[in-house]
Structures are given as structure tokens and as C-alpha cells.
Amino acid sequence: MSIPAFGLGTFRLQGQVVIDSVSTGLELGYRVIDTAQIYENEADVGQAIAASGIPREELFITSKIWVANFAKDRLIDSLKQSLRSLQTDYLDLTLIHWPSPENQVPVEEFMGALLEAKNMGLTRQIGVSNFTVDLMQQAIAAFGAENIATNQIELHPYLQNRKVVEFAQSQGIQITSYMTLAYGEVLKDPVIQQIAERLNATPAQVTLAWAMQLGYAVIPSSTKRANLESNLHAVALTLSDADMALIAGLDRGQRLTSPKGIAPHWD
């Protein structure tokens, strides 16, 4: 896999809260950090990383280009600003955060600019986020699937997004799952709770292990040290085929994120 399986998300965390979360995560052993321009926390994340003293080559840092910066003459400059904020010379992965609203900037234009940024050494890998099958097809037609490392999508037991997953995997594009715990909703699910009890694990560990076992990368976030530490143990947890089948049966198409004016026509 080109994308590490387990990392730390920073969505909705800002200021000292995100500094503390990233600092604690790095101290506990996290080495993959996911942020975005629209989170308005890149400088805070950069501060936490710099203070940790961990060598840059041991880290995998992802950020995402916001829709206002998709135009060819803005994308690379915005990425350079992200690098300054994060106090690094390059990103390991840079994603297009959402498709361009109403196709204001064509896929070929923003993907072309992102590929140029990669060729300039500003980012090691590039990819997309919140892309439908049609949008992935457009990106592949323009630049080839080999240039798209991942599609980061909302994916949890209640929204398993199988159509998008199957197409991406058929093209060799890895899936990164965000909101894997569905804002904590799935942690209350009796099926997941029963599996957790049987395995002497937490519902969060079971859910994260389920996603990783399907080949997805996960980026859970937390502000609590105990949760950050506990979530790490999901990497060592293995679910049986029967457990995986039980969780597969929880899909109910429950989408939690679909911002008006930005979200595409979902599959």
C-alpha cells in the first residue's frame, strides 16, 4: 500500500486542542497526520510536529487543497503556503478536498496543477477526496489511475460506499476512510458492541480493524489521550470472517457529510 493504514485525523480541531492532540499522538507513536487547508489548523499542526523533534522522514503528512484554490494559477501557490504553515518542504500526500462545485474548474485543470506540484517535488503523492465513480473516471481519463494514490471518502459501517470502493480498487486506487466511527454513532451499535466484548476490545478498535481489514486506510481523531492510545491497538486486532460479515450487514446508506453547494451527486 502506498498510503499507511493508520493515521491521525485533525478535522474540527484547532488551536491548542489540535496542538495537544497531535503532540500526544506523536508521543504515543502516531506517524501519519492528516489535515487540510479548510481546517484552518495547518500552522498549529506544524507547530506540534516541529516541537516533537521527530525527523521529517519518519512522518507521513497529508493535506488537502480547498475548492477556492483549484484554478491553475492558485493551486501551487496555496500548496506552498500550506508547506510554510506546516513547516515542511514537501507533503507525502496532497488531495483535492472536494470536486469543483458545478465544475467551475475542470477536473483536468486542477489535477494537472496537482500533478505539476508533484513533479516540482512539493508532494510525493497526489489523490482525491469525496470523488464519485464518474469523477474518478474523469481524473483517470485525464492523468491515469497510476497518478491517483487514494480517494478519501466518508466510509463507516453505516455507509459502506461499495460502488465507489469497488471501482477505485479495480483501478488500483486505495481507499482512505474518514469518519470511520461515524461521529461515535457506530460505537453504540449492539452488533459492534457484542464483537468488541467477545474480543476483549473496544467498539472503536473493532470498527477501525474492520476498515483496515478491508484494505482501507483510517485516520481517526481524538482529543483524549486514552482514546488515542486505545485506537492504536486496532492495528493488531483481527476479526473473523463471521464478524466481518456481521458488520457488512450494518450498511444503511447513512451519509453524515454532504455540504450544500459543494457535495457532488453521490453514487
What are φ and ψ of residue 153, in 5° steps? -135, 155
What are φ and ψ of residue 255, in 5° steps? -85, 135
For residue 93, what are the β-bridge partners?
62, 125
Cβ distance 37 to 97 under 8 Å? Answer: yes
- Residue 221, C-beta contacts closer than 8 angstroms, at least 6 positions apart: 8, 9, 10, 11, 12, 13, 21
Q: Which among 170, 231, 187 has a CA at the least distance from the CA of 24?
A: 231
CATH number for the domain formed by residue range(s) 8-184+216-226: 3.20.20.100
Per-residue pLDDT, 2? 83
Q: What is the pLDDT along the chain (267 residues), one digit of tens a residue?
A: 589 999 999 999 999 999 999 999 999 999 999 999 999 999 999 999 999 999 999 999 999 999 999 999 999 999 999 999 999 999 999 999 999 999 999 999 999 999 999 999 999 999 999 999 999 999 999 999 999 999 999 999 999 999 999 999 999 999 999 999 999 999 999 999 999 999 999 999 999 999 999 999 999 999 999 999 999 999 999 999 999 999 999 999 999 999 999 999 999
* Residue labelled with grid coordinates 508521543: 27
Strand order in the sheet with 217-218: 8-9, 32-34, 60-65, 91-96, 123-129, 150-154, 174-178, 217-218
Q: Which residues are catalytic?
A: 39
The CA distance from 199 to 237, in Å, is 9
Per-residue pLDDT, 90? 98
Per-residue pLDDT, 232? 97
Name the residue ranges covered by the structural domains of the chain.
8-184+216-226
